[in-house]
Amino acid sequence: MTIRMPQPETDSAGPGWLVTFADLVALVLAFFVMMYATQRVEDGNWQAMIQSLSRSLKVEPTALEAPSASRNVALRTQPQAIELAYLEALLNNVRDAEPALAGIVMHRLEDRLIVALPGDLLFYPGRADPMVGAAGRIAVLANLLRNISNRVDVFGHTDPSPVAGHIFESNWELSLARAETVAALMRAAGYPRPVGAFGLADTRFEDLAAIGSLATKLRLARRVDIVVRSVRERR
């Protein structure tokens, strides 16, 4: 008769000392990480390591601008681009409240709001120097637009008739000079961002084909458009 002695049970989790040893190793690693984090990294050694890695990987290291608190605050406080529908509503209120802006015409497209100022609100025929009251009209618009960061451009237009007088040789020069004058008046009124100025002469005259009255069509043809984009100014 054979008597079998009971076998001791095997601990599947492993010896208990192994868990204690793993905890000790983790604590030692954490200690050295903390010690390294408190040390000051020498810039020379750091740059040498970057150059060595760059040569090995065949890449050019890129220097990044160091962050500054003042710059970060400026970015947070910079005005944001606003919805064109909201801006159109604001401009309508300004136009209703300012008799000097009664003649402006607004047209909103998907990506821009066009504020058209007929030429007789700003300039004498054939000239690009502002008439009396023109600076005040532009200042009202500039004071509103200065609070947003949407991109703003200025476009000068003329009718197809040859340019009057002897100041400008062509409608192209007249339209550009008028656009530059409006841009300068905006800056003089305190508008802080870049304003692009462009002359289109009579190239957009056909856009007014739906207007039945020839007098109204010619009046709107001799205009300056302040175009507000839906995107933020990044120039």
Query: DSSP secondary structure string, 180-200?
Result: HHHHHHHHHTT--S--EEEE-
Number of neighbouring beta carbons within 10 Å of residue 141 = 25
Residues 6+ apart with CB under 8 A from 84: 108, 112, 113, 150, 228, 230
Rg (CA), the chain: 35
- As given in the structure block, the two tokens for residue 159 are 């009718």
- As given in the structure block, the two tokens for residue 99 are 């008799």
Domains of the chain: 16-61 (no CATH), 84-232 (3.30.1330.60)
pLDDT tens for the 235 residues of the chain, in order? 555 555 555 555 556 677 787 888 888 888 877 777 676 655 556 677 667 766 666 656 566 555 555 555 444 455 567 899 999 999 999 999 988 888 899 999 989 999 999 999 999 989 999 999 999 999 999 999 998 889 999 999 999 998 877 789 999 999 999 999 999 999 999 999 999 999 999 999 998 888 888 988 999 999 999 999 988 876 5
* CA–CA distances in Å: residue 86 to residues 99, 107, 116, 137: 21, 13, 18, 21
Number of neighbouring beta carbons within 10 Å of residue 115 = 24
Hey, which residues does 228 pair with through a beta bridge?
A: 113, 152
* Region at 165 (left for phi over 0; alpha for psi -120 to 50; beta for the rest): left
Cα–Cα distance, 159 to 202 (Å, whole number): 5
